[in-house]
Amino acid sequence: MDLKDLYQDVVVDHNRSPRNFRKITDATSVQEGFNPLCGDKLTVYLKLDGDRISDVSFEGSGCAISVASASLMTETLKGKSVAQAEQLFEMMHTLLTVEDPKRDMESMGKLAVLSGVREYPSRVKCATLCWHTLNNALKNPDSRPVSTE
């Protein structure tokens, strides 16, 4: 296993300059995610316009994997429907936990760069924290922190 598979250039870049790293003041849902094991803490802001994600952003601190994953997630989700977001959540989950050579990587777009995390079981939670937080935001708009421990 090469470290480069985990820390791909895209990951290092998104960690250094995370996209959509800001508050959304008129968000329709705000959720906090916390991983007590490593102290990663994220807030995901979601703005729904009917069934469309018109804006999504995050703030917080964490390791390179969790920050890059959150950054890539917000980039990917903007403009998507709720159903598409839920589908991506599922796809991301299996990407990070199930080896599948026949997987359609094309449909995952940039998110595919995180597939290397699968080889590092102790780090999978870092990459999924933002997605669990988002899922929480989609499912129940009243704030309750989610934990991935």
Partner 1 sequence: MNARPGGLHDSATTAAFDAPRWRRDFPIMKQRVHGKPLVYLDNAATSQKPQAVIDAVSDYYQHYNSNVHRGVHQLSELATAAYEGAREKLRQFINAASKQEIIFVRGTTEAINLVAQSYGRSHLQSGDEIILSEMEHHSNIVPWQLLREQTGVTLKVIPINDAGELQPGAYETLFSARTRLVSLAHVSNALGSVNPVKEMISLAHQHNVPLLLDGAQAVPHMPVDVRDLDCDFYAFSSHKMFGPTGIGVLYAKEQILIDMPPYQGGGEMIRTVRFNGSTWNELPHKFEAGTPDIAAAIGLGAAVDYLETIGMPSIRDYERGLLEYGTQQLQSLAGVKIVGTARHKAGVLSFVMDGVHPHDIGTIVDQQGVAIRTGHHCAMPVMEHFHIPATARASLAFYNTREDINALVQALDKVREVFR
Nearer to partner 1, 49 or 119 (CB): 119
Smallest gap from Cβ 126 to partner 1, in A, equals 7
Binding mask 29-68 for partner 1 (x = CB under 8 A): --------xxxxx-------------------xxxxx---
Residue 145 as a binder of partner 1 (CB under 8 A): the answer is no
Binding mask 76-115 for partner 1 (x = CB under 8 A): ----------------------------------------
Tokens of 132: 């669990």
User: What is the contact surface with partner 1 in residues (CB under 8 A)?
Assistant: 1, 3, 6-7, 12, 15-16, 37-41, 61-65, 120, 122-123, 126
